[in-house]
A and B are shown apart, each in its own frame.
Chain A
């Protein structure tokens, strides 16, 4: 049984560009959450998707958007990249909102 997978592993972009990160949830999970983790900090909640809709959003600007597909996989899009967007982006899946969240290996985004 595959766990949560994310792609790509690493990504380097320049300021102003756009990026798309991908996540496949653990088998049987229907809820996907995205988190941003800056160096030396705990992860910060970006948003959560359930039944292809954004259920909850954290304190992130509209430049951060997402999507969930019918197979429960999800994408995180970031437009107009800033240097401060450099971070590890983590995807977590769960069966329902309050169940244990299982995390993927993350995507390391570097903005130059």
Chain B
């Protein structure tokens, strides 16, 4: 059974810091991995999607990497801003789970000015 874990559960940083969020999954047989952002009480905004054949994806100040063999992904946020404060969720589309996205519990990021 595919399981997704995100560490840390919460993170507080001062504005301007570079930071890394971690995601691990137990079954390496995945189609893709997505990183989402969720503001309190709101829906999910897709940030980056990495196909199983890719190693990384970049969008602006965000860079996501994927190491399928070790079951790990990282989301790197450069020069953090208070507007980056949100919960970041990692989800995998796993061969084992068919068409269901399997989510971690998320990392809640707080960036102080």
Give chain B's interface residues, CB within 8 Å of chain A: 4, 31-32, 34, 36, 41-46, 49, 89, 91, 93, 97-106
Contact = CB atoms under 8 A, between A and B. Distances in A.
A56 B34 contact: no
Contact of A33 (B32, B36, B43, B99): B99
Given A98-B31, A106-B43, A108-B41, A56 B99 contact: yes
Give the contact-size bracket for chain A.
20 to 34
Interface of A: 4, 6, 31, 33, 35, 40-45, 48, 55-56, 58, 88, 90, 92, 97-98, 100-106, 108
A90 B44 contact: yes
Given A100-B49, A101-B34, 16 more contacts: A4-B43, A6-B43, A31-B99, A33-B100, A35-B101, A42-B103, A43-B103, A45-B100, A48-B100, A56-B98, A92-B44, A98-B31, A98-B99, A101-B101, A103-B43, A104-B43
